[in-house]
Amino acid sequence: MNRALSNPLAQWGCAIIASILLLAMFAPLIAPFDPDAINVKAILLSPSGTHWMGTDGLGRDVFSRMLYGSRISLLVGFVAVGIATAIGVILGAVAGFYRGWVDIVIMRLVDVMLSIPTFFLILAVIAFLTPSIWNIMIVIGLTSWMGVTRLIRAEFLSLREREFVLAAEVLGAQDARLIFRHLLPNSLTPVIVSFVLGVASAVLVESGLSFLGLGVQPPQASWGNILTDGKEYIQFAWWLSFFPGMAILLTVLGYNLLGEGLRDALDPRTTKQAKG
């Protein structure tokens, strides 16, 4: 872990993510205004000392909405990727441990899910359900577990043949003990990396869905739906679309940097290569 923390990419990523998490956590203390308070006397004001990021078409303070929006975006990101990782770890572990036809069925399912364009799949499911923050999390989770499944399966397949696992098996360890004590703890590195990278892409997907009006529903603020408002006013109020876009960019950048940094630091193969 020390190696991970001394990696410059990971440090930058950590710094960005930590500041965004702090802002999100202390949103009620930091926000200068009520994010949903409509003020007809302050419509579409440009950024100033009172309204750091200006106001929107209903006179709401954009900075306050951005702070509260960050909570939604991060919540959706974490829960969605949590669901995906849980499904992926279970299916990958079962496929890699039991092999045989179970493995074949699970991996064909992965292939099928990978062949359907993900964004189409998400939109189609949303079309059959009501768009709400919970449904978004579930749908993103249910459509992005395939990568983790492949990773865990590959780790299990190679770890299973190692001496310490064979030794445990010879000593009469149960399947559950083999999986949870010996195999899973040793395959967590790629899972952590893919979790961090997954949050980045979930934040992007959520903002895209909200932008299309199929994600988080107004008046609840999310970065994506602040941007949708911004689209309407783009000719008069650049700040409405500029700040949410930058926030998404920085968040995704932070998670990507951390993810790649961790990968570099934790994967001995790429570390060696970097030294060349």
> Would you count residue 116 as binding other proteins (CB under 8 A)?
yes
* Residue number, 125 or 173, with CB nearest to other proteins: 125
2 is a contact residue toward other proteins (CB under 8 A): no
Q: Which of residues 120-149 bind other proteins (CB under 8 A)?
A: 120-121, 123-130
For the CB of residue 245, give the shortest distance to other proteins in the complex, in Å: 4
Using H for helix, E for strand and C for coil, what is the string for the chain?
A: CHHHHCCHHHHHHHHHHHHHHHHHHCHHHHCCCCCCCCCHHHCCCCCCCCCCCCECCCCCEHHHHHHHHHHHHHHHHHHHHHHHHHHHHHHHHHHHHHCHHHHHHHHHHHHHHHHCCHHHHHHHHHHHCCCCHHHHHHHHHHCCCHHHHHHHHHHHHHHCCCHHHHHHHHCCCCHHHHHHHHHCHHHHHHHHHHHHHHHHHHHHHHHHHHHCCCCCCCCCCCHHHHHHHHHHCCCCCHHHHHHHHHHHHHHHHHHHHHHHHHHHHHCHHHHHHHHC
Q: Which stretch binds other proteins (CB under 8 A): 42-50, 104-112, 149-157, 178-186?
A: 104-112
Indicate whether 157 belongs to the interface with other proteins (CB under 8 A): no
Cα separation, 49 vs 34, in Å, equals: 17
Beta bridge pairs of residue 55: 61
CB distance 213 to 122 below 8 Å: no
Binding test (CB under 8 A) with other proteins, winner from 230, 237, 262, 266? 230
Site residue total, other proteins (CB under 8 A): 49
CB under 8 A: which stretch of 31-39, 83-91, 185-193, 241-249 binds other proteins? 241-249
Kindly tell me which of 61 and 260 has the beta carbon lying closer to other proteins.
260
For other proteins, which residue of 207, 215, 216, 266 counts as binding (CB under 8 A)? 207
The reply on whether position 212 binds other proteins by CB under 8 A is: yes
> Nearer to other proteins by C-beta: 169 or 238?
238
From 214, 218, 267, 271, residue interacting with other proteins (rule: CB under 8 A): 214
Q: Which stretch binds other proteins (CB under 8 A): 48-56, 88-96, 176-184, 234-242?
A: 234-242
Per CB under 8 A, 204 contacts other proteins? yes
Residues that bind other proteins (CB under 8 A): 108-109, 111-121, 123-130, 200, 204, 207-208, 211-212, 214, 227, 230-231, 234-235, 238, 241-242, 244-245, 248-250, 252-253, 256-257, 260, 273-274, 276
